[in-house]
C-alpha cells in the first residue's frame, strides 16, 4: 500500500484513478477536545493559556472520527502524518498568511504570546 502524507495525496490519487466518490480523510482515530487543545497550545507555545470550558450547546457533536476504510481501500493510500505534525504545518501556513493582515495591536499581542516559541518549531 502506498503511503500518502496528507489529504493532497488522497485527492491526487482520486483524480488519477478517476474515483468520483466522497470520502472523509483523517487518522481514523478519535481525538478529544482536551487533546486537540493541548496539541494546539503546545504547537503555538501558549504556555500561559488555558482552555475555557462551557456547557455543550444543542447540536454539538460529542464524538467523531473519520472512517478511513473506504478511501484506503479505493485509493490504496494510508495517511501517516500525526495530529501534531499536521497541526504544526497547518498553523505555520495559516500564521504566514494571517500576519500581513494583522493590525499593529493584534500583531504585538500575537508576537508576545506565540512568535518566540513558533520561531524555533517551524
Pick the CATH number of 2-121 from 3.30.70, 1.10.3120, 3.90.25, 3.30.300: 3.90.25
Q: Is pLDDT at 2 greater than 60 in this prediction?
A: no
Please, which pLDDT band fits residue 71 given cuts at 50, 70 and 90?
confident
Q: Is pLDDT at 121 greater than 60 in this prediction?
A: no
User: End-to-end alpha-carbon separation of the chain, Å?
Assistant: 30
Domain locations in the chain as residue ranges: 2-121
In eight-state DSSP terms, residue 100 is G
Ranges assigned E (strand) in the chain: 2-4, 77-79
What pTM value is reported for the model? Answer: 0.60
Amino acid at each position: 500500500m502506498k503511503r500518502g502524507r496528507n489529504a493532497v495525496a488522497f485527492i491526487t490519487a482520486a483524480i488519477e484513478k478517476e474515483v468520483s466518490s466522497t470520502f472523509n480523510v483523517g487518522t481514523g482515530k478519535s481525538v478529544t477536545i482536551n487533546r486537540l487543545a493541548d496539541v494546539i497550545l503546545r504547537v503555538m507555545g501558549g504556555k500561559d493559556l488555558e482552555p475555557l470550558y462551557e456547557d455543550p450547546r444543542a447540536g454539538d457533536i460529542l464524538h467523531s472520527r473519520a472512517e478511513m476504510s473506504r478511501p484506503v481501500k479505493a485509493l490504496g493510500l494510508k495517511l501517516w502524518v500525526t495530529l501534531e505534525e499536521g497541526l504544526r504545518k497547518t498553523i505555520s501556513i495559516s500564521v504566514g498568511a494571517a500576519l500581513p493582515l494583522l493590525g499593529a495591536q493584534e500583531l504585538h499581542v500575537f508576537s508576545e504570546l506565540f512568535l518566540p516559541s513558533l520561531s524555533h518549531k517551524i
